[in-house]
Amino acid sequence: MDGTDGSVTVLSARLQRPIRTIETDVTDPIRIAHANETLSLLDGVGRIQTVGLDTGPDISRCTHSTALVNPADFTVDADGRGYVLDRTDSEPVIRSFGGADDHHDERFPLTNDAFVAAAGPFVPTALSLVDDTLFVVGRLENGCQALFERDPESKSFHERYRLERPCRTLVARSLSSNGRLIYAATGPNGHGRLLRERRQHARHPRQDRALGTAFTRYDSGTDDTEWHRLALERAQTTASTQVRVRYVATNRPVPFDSGLDDLEIVPTDAIDALYELQITSVWDLASSDPAQLASTLSDYSRSDVQAWQDAATETLAAHADADWTTADSVAPDDILLRNAVGRYLFVVLELEGSPQSSPRVDSVTAFCPRQSYLRYLPELYQENDRSAAFLTQYLSVFESIFADIETEIEQISRYFDPHAVPSDALSWLEQWLALDPDDGWPEAARRELLSRAPELYKRRGTKAGLRSLLELYLRHAASSDVDDPASSTATTDGGDGTSTETLPDHRLFFLDGDDLDCIDRESVRRQYPLPTGPRSFAVFCGPFETAGERATVESIVTSEKPAHVGAAVVELDDGLRLDGATFLGLNSRLTTREFSLGATTLGEDTVLVD
pLDDT at 99 over 90: no
CA 482 to chain centre: 4
CA 587 to chain centre: 25
Residue 484: predicted pLDDT: 38
How confident is the model over 68-77, as a mean pLDDT? 84
Least confident span in 70-74, 90-94, 404-408, 529-533: 529-533
* Strand bridging mode 120-130 / 229-234: unpaired
How confident is the model over 423-430, as a mean pLDDT? 89
pLDDT at 422 over 70: yes
How confident is the model over 409-431, as a mean pLDDT? 89
Residue 21: predicted pLDDT: 81
Would you place residue 553 in the very low, low, confident or very high pLDDT band (cuts 50, 70, 90)? very high
Residue 175: predicted pLDDT: 67
Residue 328: predicted pLDDT: 84
Q: What are phi and psi of 566, to 5 degrees?
A: -85, 150
Least confident span in 111-120, 300-309, 392-401, 427-436: 392-401
User: How do residues 267-321 score in pLDDT, each as one tens digit?
Assistant: 988 999 999 999 999 999 999 988 888 888 888 888 888 889 989 999 999 999 9
Would you place residue 348 in the very low, low, confident or very high pLDDT band (cuts 50, 70, 90)? very high
pLDDT at 350 over 80: yes
R_g (Cα) of the chain, nearest Å? 32
* 283-319 burial code (b ≥16 CB/10 A, e <16): bbbbbbeeeebbeebeebbeebbbbbbebbbbbbbeb
Furthest-apart CA atoms within the chain: distance in Å: 113
pLDDT at 433 over 60: yes
Residue 103: predicted pLDDT: 57
Residue 514's contacts (CB-CB under 8 Å, 6 or more residues apart) are none
Contact predicate 124/92, CB 8 Å: yes
Residue 67: predicted pLDDT: 66
For the entire predicted model, the pTM comes to 0.49
Top mean pLDDT of 13-17, 439-443, 569-573, 579-583 is at 439-443
Report the C-alpha gap between 551 and 548 in whole angstroms. Answer: 5
* Strand bridging mode 101-103 / 116-117: unpaired
pLDDT at 556 over 60: yes
Burial class (CB in 10 A: 0-12, 13-18, 19+), 186: buried
The candidate with the shortest Cα–Cα distance to 367, out of 331, 328, 393, 399, is 399
pLDDT higher for 365 or 209? Answer: 365
pLDDT higher for 418 or 105? Answer: 418
The fraction of the chain above a pLDDT of 90, given in percent, is 21
From residue 511, alpha-carbon distances to 473, 497, 502, 549 in Å are 20, 12, 18, 21
Strand order through the sheet with 167-174: 167-174, 180-186, 192-196
User: How do residues 324-335 score in pLDDT, each as one tens digit?
Assistant: 999 887 777 888
Least confident span in 24-28, 162-166, 495-499: 495-499
Mean pLDDT, the chain, whole residue set: 80
Domain boundaries, the chain: 8-196, 211-383, 459-571
Report the C-alpha gap between 140 and 137 in whole angstroms. Answer: 10
pLDDT at 14 over 70: no
Residue 220: predicted pLDDT: 93
Q: Which CATH number is 8-196 given?
A: 2.120.10.30
pLDDT at 352 over 80: yes
Residue 600: predicted pLDDT: 61
Least confident span in 2-6, 148-152, 513-517: 2-6
* Strand bridging mode 566-571 / 536-542: parallel
Burial class (CB in 10 A: 0-12, 13-18, 19+), 187: middle
Residue 121's contacts (CB-CB under 8 Å, 6 or more residues apart) are 115, 140, 141
How confident is the model over 87-95, as a mean pLDDT? 84
pLDDT higher for 478 or 163? Answer: 163
Least confident span in 141-155, 253-267, 502-516: 502-516
User: How do residues 371-402 score in pLDDT, each as one tens digit?
Assistant: 778 888 888 888 888 888 788 778 877 877 88
